[in-house]
Copies of this chain bind each other. A is one copy, B any other.
Amino acid sequence: MAKPKIHTMEELAEAIGVSRPTLSRYFQDPTKVSKSSVARIVDGLERVEYTPNFFATRMNRKTTGLIGVIIPYLNDLFFTLLLEAIETAALRAGYTVITQCSHADPAIEKRAAETFLSMNVDGAIVAPLGDNSDMDVYARLNARLPFVLMDSRPKALRDVDFIGSDHRQSTGAITEYLCRVGPPPVFLAMPRVNFNALEREAAYIEKMHELGHEPQIVGARLYHEHDHFEAHGLAVLDDMFARGQLIESSILCANDRVAIGALRAASQHGLEPGAQRKGGLRIAGHDDYPLCPFTTPSLTTVAQNVTAIGQTAVDRLLEKLRAENISENQVIRLMDGILKIRESA
């Protein structure tokens, strides 16, 4: 037999046999209702077909059970892994994650933050676009809600909690490794879309100076306006290899997607990165993009601990959600990168 369909809270209260105010209190906070009423309501809900209205039941609650997350790009497996780690941790804690992608557009990013404010999400975790982000909307988020930044740290938001990688350590580690196994590396930059690009570049320069080598940076400017990272790495090195440049160098790419383009440029010019023990072309990346083990040659890189970043960002947000006073001490957690030595260097 089909369950009776219920459309309003009045009908539901009648079907279950409790008063309308008791039912409302139950949906707002079950601990405010007597145990016998809870039992009767839980039992009653089994017997009818009724989906509580998300908006009505949450409008007067202190919590919506929602965590808002903003990521800058969707078509990037680093950010999807980060998002997966966040969703897994949030689900475990009973929260629903509402994700908005800013698609590299500050106007969409701003609209996403405003949607979170109007939805009364319990808290927000944001990987900001960077220099172009609307800092005012994030200042408002930070004033109104528990707020945690991840991945990238705009200067204007230096006082916000931050969970990310220690790019100084990670880029330093792979620079040192490359210096140990071959000639000192050239740095193939990515277009300066965010602070991480600059932090990695600075870390490379610092480590090179420390080891007594002259830093050399190529590819800091985009060849074509709308190129993706892979196309950028390919275009820069295709051009240089064609002129006989860098063909026996070590090349440290600012991220793995740039390095995948660099590997492609090498194969187009008949070069085999990592084939020689000493000397010869070497290519390395940063991040440990999921495809690194499957490229030809497989890509040497330094892994960001993306699962730990996502999990720690959720942990910190939950801590702030539980705290009475959210303006306590600032928390900054920088995770170490781990060398992944494969064939390309």
CB within 8 Å of B: which residues of A? 51-59, 64, 74-77, 80-81, 83-84, 87-88, 91, 96, 98-99, 101, 103, 108, 114-115, 117-120, 228, 230, 234, 260-261, 263-264, 267, 290-291, 293-298
Contact = CB atoms under 8 A, between A and B. Distances in A.
A103 B84 contact: yes
Contacts of A263: 294, 296
Q: How many identical chains are in the complex?
A: 2
Contacts of A74: 80, 83-84, 87
A51 B230 contact: no
A261 B294 contact: yes
19 contacts: A51-B117, A52-B118, A53-B59, A53-B120, A74-B80, A76-B80, A77-B77, A80-B80, A91-B108, A96-B115, A98-B98, A228-B290, A230-B293, A234-B294, A260-B291, A260-B294, A263-B296, A291-B291, A295-B295
B54 A119 contact: yes
A304 to B, nearest CB: 15
Across chains A and B, which 6 residue pairs bring their CB atoms closest together, nearest first?
Answer: A55-B55, A54-B118, A267-B296, A54-B119, A74-B80, A296-B296
A298 B264 CA distance: 8
A291 B76 CA distance: 11
Contact of A119 (B55, B290, B297): B55
A118 B291 contact: no
Contacts of A81: 75
Nearest to A264: B294
A87 B58 contact: no
A255 to B, nearest CB: 14
A118 B50 CA distance: 9
A83 B73 CA distance: 11
A75 B117 contact: no
Q: Which of A54, A120, A230, A298 counts the most B-chain CB atoms under 10 A from its CB?
A: A54
A233 to B, nearest CB: 9
A317 to B, nearest CB: 19
A231 to B, nearest CB: 8
Given A263-B296, A267-B296, 12 more contacts: A51-B117, A52-B118, A54-B55, A59-B59, A74-B84, A84-B103, A96-B115, A99-B99, A230-B291, A234-B294, A264-B298, A295-B295
Contacts of A103: 84, 87-88
A234 B84 CA distance: 24
B296 A51 contact: no
A93 to B, nearest CB: 14
A115 B54 contact: yes
A83 B79 CA distance: 14
A209 B59 CA distance: 61
A124 to B, nearest CB: 13
A101 B87 contact: yes
